[in-house]
Amino acid sequence: MERPQPTTQLILELTGGNQGLVSAAHHGLYETPLDRLYTNLNLDEVIVFAATSWGLRSKDLESFAAVVRFGDVYKIFDYVNQIGFRRLNKNKPVPQELRGLYEQLNPYKGRNLRQRLERVDPAAVGTLRERLQHDTNHYITEGQLNSPRTERAEGGNRKVTMQFLPTHPKKGQTAQHYAAEVARMLSGYPQGYEPLDGSRPQPPREQLVLF
């Protein structure tokens, strides 16, 4: 079975248009891609894991790396989900016009995560585990590229220039740029998936195409 691609508007709604949350989701997907796990995850779980794991690494890498080293993949996801879903759930339910798309992108309904993760290629799990123990990058716009202030503040971190952002982003529009980039990244992930017993979705309902 296949699911559709996420849209910018859906990503904005899921993250509440919160720049901190949607930018963390972008950074997490950039540094720890979940493309090899996506067929076994809901969109909700991808956004939560990317954003929350990046935040945990940024805040206290040593503590989070210990969770990653000593837990199996389910325990890692469960740890991150316990923290991250409280934040994401504040933005639900999504608007009615996006509800059909949302349901198609979350075919597992949040059930059977352990069994789903057991289907993931062990090599993919190993790669993710390794990346989750690395330092986070420092993200800048092209307008900040040669800023002495940036050099002083983040001298030890690898700098990544976000070319999808304007050189000098306008206030209030940055979250939408991030959401569009997250949607673009996820659109490159495999769309096919194999439902577990009992999780086969209902036929898709007619929905409004916004993008």
User: Letter for the amino acid at 116?
Assistant: R
Q: Return the closest-CA partner of residue 105 out of 3, 194, 210.
A: 3
Residue 38: its pLDDT value, please?
A: 97
pTM: 0.87
Q: What is the dihedral of CA 52, 125, 42, 35, to 10 degrees?
A: 100
Cα separation, 77 vs 13, whole angstroms: 23
Cα separation, 139 vs 161, whole angstroms: 6
Question: Contact 14/44 with Cβ under 8 angstroms?
Answer: yes
Per-position pLDDT tens, the chain of length 211: 999 999 999 999 999 999 999 999 999 999 999 999 999 999 999 999 999 999 999 999 999 999 999 999 999 999 999 999 998 888 778 999 999 999 999 999 888 999 999 999 999 999 999 999 999 999 988 877 766 555 544 545 788 989 898 887 787 899 999 999 999 999 999 999 988 864 444 444 333 333 2
Residue 120: its pLDDT value, please?
A: 97
Handedness of CA 84, 109, 30, 10 (dihedral sign): negative
